[in-house]
Structure formats: structure tokens, C-alpha cells
């Protein structure tokens, strides 16, 4: 039985399939054998992967979906990279996560990093053998800037394993903000984005690689990949392998809610990230081209890179819905003929549900300014009786005059018509009453001073958003019967000796 029912995903791009799939399947199986990945022993007996397990996980299908347009040799190399990274993940699990061997894990990762160089040492295990081979076949075609970015993302991918292992060792589950930040920083998706540059022949110009629009593309792509993976892999990672680096588990524990509700919350976040990716690609990237006077060939590379990330999102979703590695019951439900559209392998995501059209329609069906009823306040616990200063009426009159002297009722720069307040506004806000209950034992002078402090803070609280909180063309004087009440987080307390 599945841990929860998969939510309705928003996926606006149909997945497409690379025609070189069968060649990549045969190549990746032979390559994994050559690297020793099908003979790697587990500490407690058996092997990490068998040939049947590798065939069933079908990483060639994943790469054919996520890179639908590259040629056969490129697809072979990309598939080898993903066979390597999944083997690394499973090998690390068997060797170190189950045993909680932090010291051995760090030594393993430190030595593995040495194979991202032009002069690597002799490999001692299949992960090192595979990385040495892939590095030599990939980096000569790319620039030094790309090489450094790829080293960083591969290094971070390895760091994630240590972060997860540390949290498992101490039984700690991250909070949602930390989790998303850490996964974006050290997860596998930035590494995948680097490989998109290689596979699409779309290396991002170095002068643009760290601009905000391109970093937003990378970040939203990463969040989408990681959150989607967490939804599909919750059952395997959390329930079967005992891991705690999964967004569904993070939300479940942090919000103290049921697993199904946590999955829906994760899917809402996933949807927002995919939609921000769309908005950035369509609005901010063209503006970036103008701002930096990007040359036509550079524009073509950035556009191909964005398209490659889009293909990866769609293809990654389709593969998760089909691979035996994941919980995906009901994720693929046949392929009805939609308006005479395409059918067959690679078109399952064309159904209205898989496109997320219902979710998109819901987003645009909200009625703004809908009348709502009164929100009843809960029963608040207050063990202390309320006392009010006998000098309240005098403080009210003092405050009305003090506000006039301070210019609270006058026009000011930014609010030229009518001012922020008038006397009626100050009186109905009744800040002197607030002060009289806060400082019930104050003498008249102290109560006047306390009332004035509250009025000053509340006036500033109203003034700031009117002047700086919206465009000048939309500023209007608010009705004196509406606006902020006393919301200052501080109050003035009279000194007992005064």
C-alpha cells in the first residue's frame, strides 16, 4: 500500500522521448559492468546492484525523457553519468548510512573528489572508476568556467550525503526553510543543470552565469526536481531506508499534520516553483538580454539552456511516474486521445490532469475582495484584572492638542492632500485609553507622556506604508475612520521614581 495518494501535479510541458533510447540502454548496461557496478558487494552480503535491478530502474529511459533532442553518443554519456550518480547514492547508503560510519564516509568522499582532475589516482571501487572515466570523456568539451561550476555542484552533491548522514545519526529532521535551502545548495539538481548545458550544447556565457535571472532559473529548477523526487520517493526513502531528508517528512513533522496533507503542501510549493520558472524564462530572461547587450549566439545558448531545463522537468516527472525505483501507483493512467493529439510512449503527460490545468484554473478563479464574516476571537486567557487610570479624560484632551502641535494633522511630503491623520482619526483611535490601561497607576504627567509615545509610534506606522509602500500615482488619503490601530511592539513605562 502506498504511503499516500499522489497529488495532482502541475506540469505544463509534455514529455518527449529521445529516439536513441535502446542504444543508450544497451550501452549503459555494458558500461556499468565494465566499471564493476554489478559486482560491488554489500557489507552484509549480496551486491549493491544486479543486472536485473539496473534494467528495471531504467536510467536510460530517464535520460531519454530528460534529454529528448541530443544525439546517440551524447545520450550514452549522459546516461552513464546518471548510472554513476545513482550507483554512488546506493553504494554510499550500503557502506555508510546503515552503519552510521561518519569517519569512513568522510574519507570515502574526500578520496572520490580526487577523480575530478586531470591526474587522478588509481580507483579502488566502482564509484571512483566510473567518475574517472566520465570526467575524461566530458570536461575536454567544456570551458574552464563550466568545469569549475561542475566541480562545485558535484562536490555539493557529495556533501549532501554527509548532511543527510549527520541528521540521521542524531535523529534530527530539518525545518522547511533549512531543508529547501540545503537541498537547493547541495542537492543533485544543480549538477543536472550543468549536464543540461553539456547535452544541449548550450553552455551559459560566464558573464551571465551568476546574474539573478539565471540563478532564479537554476534555483526554481532545482526546487522543482527535488520536491517532485521527494513526493515519489517518500515510501522508499523514509519508510524503507530510514532516511529523514525528504520534504514530505519535513512538512509532516514541522506542521504536525497527516502524511497526505504534508504531500499536498509539498505539491503546492512545487507548483509555485514551476510557475516561477515559467515567469522568469518568459519575462526576466529577455530583459537580461537587453540589459547586458547579449549577442545573438549567446542568446541562443541561454534559450537552449532554459528549454533544456524545461525538458528535464517534464521528462523527470514522466520517468518518476514509470520507474520501479519510486512509489508511483496511478501516476500513469493510459493516454486518451485529446483533441486528436499524439498518443503512445512519452505522451502520458498530455492528459488535462497531468498538465495541471485544473490547478492553473484554480489559481485564476479566485474572487478578490470577497466579503467574509466576522472572525470570532478565541477565548484568551488573562488572569489579571484590567485597571484604568482616573486621568484618562484629561490625557485624551492633552493628546488631541499635542498631535496638533506636532503637525500630525498637516500635509507632509508624500501625503500632500489632507495629511496622514486628522483630529477625528486620532480621537477614535483612542491611544490615551490604551495608555490608561497599560499604565493605570501613572500620574497625569506620566500618562500624557505614555499616550504621546503611543501616538508617535502609531503615526509613524501609518505614515511609512502611505509614503513608501506603494507607487506615488496610487496614493490616496485614507478615510479617517480606517487604518492602523496601535500596533507598536513597545510601550513606554514610567519610571517608578517619577
- Label residue 175 left, alpha or beta by phi (over 0 means left) and psi (-120 to 50 means alpha): beta
- In this predicted model, which residue has the larger pLDDT, 338 or 198? 198
- pLDDT of residue 350 exceeding 90: no
Domain ranges within the chain, ordered by starting residue: 21-332+345-363, 392-474
Conformational region of residue 222, where left means phi above 0, alpha means psi within -120 to 50, and beta covers everything else:
alpha
Lowest mean pLDDT among 58-72, 171-185, 221-235, 355-369: 355-369
Give the position of cell 572508476: 129
CATH number of 21-332+345-363, picked from 1.10.10.60, 1.10.3720.10, 1.10.600.10, 3.30.830.10 = 1.10.600.10
Distance of CA 7 to the CA centre of its chain: 18
- What predicted TM-score, i.e. pTM, was given to this entire model? 0.67
- At 125 the pLDDT is 92
Predicted confidence at residue 308, as pLDDT, reads 96
Q: How confident is the model at residue 357 (pLDDT cuts 50, 70, 90)?
A: low
Whether 47 contacts 38, CB under 8 Å? yes
Q: What is the DSSP string of 37-79?
A: TTSPBPTTSSBS--HHHHHHH-HHHHHHHHSTTS-HHHHHHHH
pLDDT tens for residues 407-422?
Answer: 999 988 888 777 899 9
97-113 pLDDT, tens digit per residue, is: 677 778 888 898 899 99
Average pLDDT over residues 151-178: 81
Mean pLDDT, to the nearest integer, of 144-161? 86
pLDDT at 348: 47
- According to the model, what pLDDT value does residue 329 have? 79
Looking at residues 6-20, what average pLDDT do you find? Answer: 90
The angle formed by the CA atoms of residues 312, 315 and 317, to the nearest 5 degrees, is 105
* Side-chain half-sphere exposure of 464, counting CA atoms within 13 A: 6
Q: Taking residues 356-364, what's their average pLDDT? A: 63
Model confidence band, residue 184 (pLDDT cutoffs 50, 70, 90): confident
- Say whether 63 sits in a helix, a strand or coil: helix
Average pLDDT, the chain: 85
Chain-centre distance for alpha carbon 202:
25
The answer to whether the CB of 224 falls within 8 A of the CB of 273 is: yes
Which residue shows C-alpha cell 486518451?
A: 336
CB 158 within 8 A of CB 111: no
State the cell numbers at 254: 514541522
Burial (CB < 10 A; 0-12, 13-18, 19+), residue 483, is middle
Mean pLDDT for the stretch of residues 203-213 = 92
Which pLDDT band, with edges at 50, 70 and 90, does 488 fall under?
very low
The reported pLDDT for the residue numbered 333 is 47
- Percent of the chain residues past pLDDT 90, beyond the cut: 57
**In the chain, what percentage of residues exceed pLDDT 70?**
86
The pLDDT value recorded for residue 328 is 80
Report the C-alpha gap between 331 and 333 in whole angstroms.
6
Which of 100-104, 343-347, 395-399, 483-487 has the highest mean predicted lDDT (pLDDT)? Answer: 395-399
At 419, is the secondary structure helix, strand, or coil?
coil
Compare 477 and 224 and report the one with higher pLDDT: 224
C-alpha cell at 129: 572508476
Amino acid at each position: 500500500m502506498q504511503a499516500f495518494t499522489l497529488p495532482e501535479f502541475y506540469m505544463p510541458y509534455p514529455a518527449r522521448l529521445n529516439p536513441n533510447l535502446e542504444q543508450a540502454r544497451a550501452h549503459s548496461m555494458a558500461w556499468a559492468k565494465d566499471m564493476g557496478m554489478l559486482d560491488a558487494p554489500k557489507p552484509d552480503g549480496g551486491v549493491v546492484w544486479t543486472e536485473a535491478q539496473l534494467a528495471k530502474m531504467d536510467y536510460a529511459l530517464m535520460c531519454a525523457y530528460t534529454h529528448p533532442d541530443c544525439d546517440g553518443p551524447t545520450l550514452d554519456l549522459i546516461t552513464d553519468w546518471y548510472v554513476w550518480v545513482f550507483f554512488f547514492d546506493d553504494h554510499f547508503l550500503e557502506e555508510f548510512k546503515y552503519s552510521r560510519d561518519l569517519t569512513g564516509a568522510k574519507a570515502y568522499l574526500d578520496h572520490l573528489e580526487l577523480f575530478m582532475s586531470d591526474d587522478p589516482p588509481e580507483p579502488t571501487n566502482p564509484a571512483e572508476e566510473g567518475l574517472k572515466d566520465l570526467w575524461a570523456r566530458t570536461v575536454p568539451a567544456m570551458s574552464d568556467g563550466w568545469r569549475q561550476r561542475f566541480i562545485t555542484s558535484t562536490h555539493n552533491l557529495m556533501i549532501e550525503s554527509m548532511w543527510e548522514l549527520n541528521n540521521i545519526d542524531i535523529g534530527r529532521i530539518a525545518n522547511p526553510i533549512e531543508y529547501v535551502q540545503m537541498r537547493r545548495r547541495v542537492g543533485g539538481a544543480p549538477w543536472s543543470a550543468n549536464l543540461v548545458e553539456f547535452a544541449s550544447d548550450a553552455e551559459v556565457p560566464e558573464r551571465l552565469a551568476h546574474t539573478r535571472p539565471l540563478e532564479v532559473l537554476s534555483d526554481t529548477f532545482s526546487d522543482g526536481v527535488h520536491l517532485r523526487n521527494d513526493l515519489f520517493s517518500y515510501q522508499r526513502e523514509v519508510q524503507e531506508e530510514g532516511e529523514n531528508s525528504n520534504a514530505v517528512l519535513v512538512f509532516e513533522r514541522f506542521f504536525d499534520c497527516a502524511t497526505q496533507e504534508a504531500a499536498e503542501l509539498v505539491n503546492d510549493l512545487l507548483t509555485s516553483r514551476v510557475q516561477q520558472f515559467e515567469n522568469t524564462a518568459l519575462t526576466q530572461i529577455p530583459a537580461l538580454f537587453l540589459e547586458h547587450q547579449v549577442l545573438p549566439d549567446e542568446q541562443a545558448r541561454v534559450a537552449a539552456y532554459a528549454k533544456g531545463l524545461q525538458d528535464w522537468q517534464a521528462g523527470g516527472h514522466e520517468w518518476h511516474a514509470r520507474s520501479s525505483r519510486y512509489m508511483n501507483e496511478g501516476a500513469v493512467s493510459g493516454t486518451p486521445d485529446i483533441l486528436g493529439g499524439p498518443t503512445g510512449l512519452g505522451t502520458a503527460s498530455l492528459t488535462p490532469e497531468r498538465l495541471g490545468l485544473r490547478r492553473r484554473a484554480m489559481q485564476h478563479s479566485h474572487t478578490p475582495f470577497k466579503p467574509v464574516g466576522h472572525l470570532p476571537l478565541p477565548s484568551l486567557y488573562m488572569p489579571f484584572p484590567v485597571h484604568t487610570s482616573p486621568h484618562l479624560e484629561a490625557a485624551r484632551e492633552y493628546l488631541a492638542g499635542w498631535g496638533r502641535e506636532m503637525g500630525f494633522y498637516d500635509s507632509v511630503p508624500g501625503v500632500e492632500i489632507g495629511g496622514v491623520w486628522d483630529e477625528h482619526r486620532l480621537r477614535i483611535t483612542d491611544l490615551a485609553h490604551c495608555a490608561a490601561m497599560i499604565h493605570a497607576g501613572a500620574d497625569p504627567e506620566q500618562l500624557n507622556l505614555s499616550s504621546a509615545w503611543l501616538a508617535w509610534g502609531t503615526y509613524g506606522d501609518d505614515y511609512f506604508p502611505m509614503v513608501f509602500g506603494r507607487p506615488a500615482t496610487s496614493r490616496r488619503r485614507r478615510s479617517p475612520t480606517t487604518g492602523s490601530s496601535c500596533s507598536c511592539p513597545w510601550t513606554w513605562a514610567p519610571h517608578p521614581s517619577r
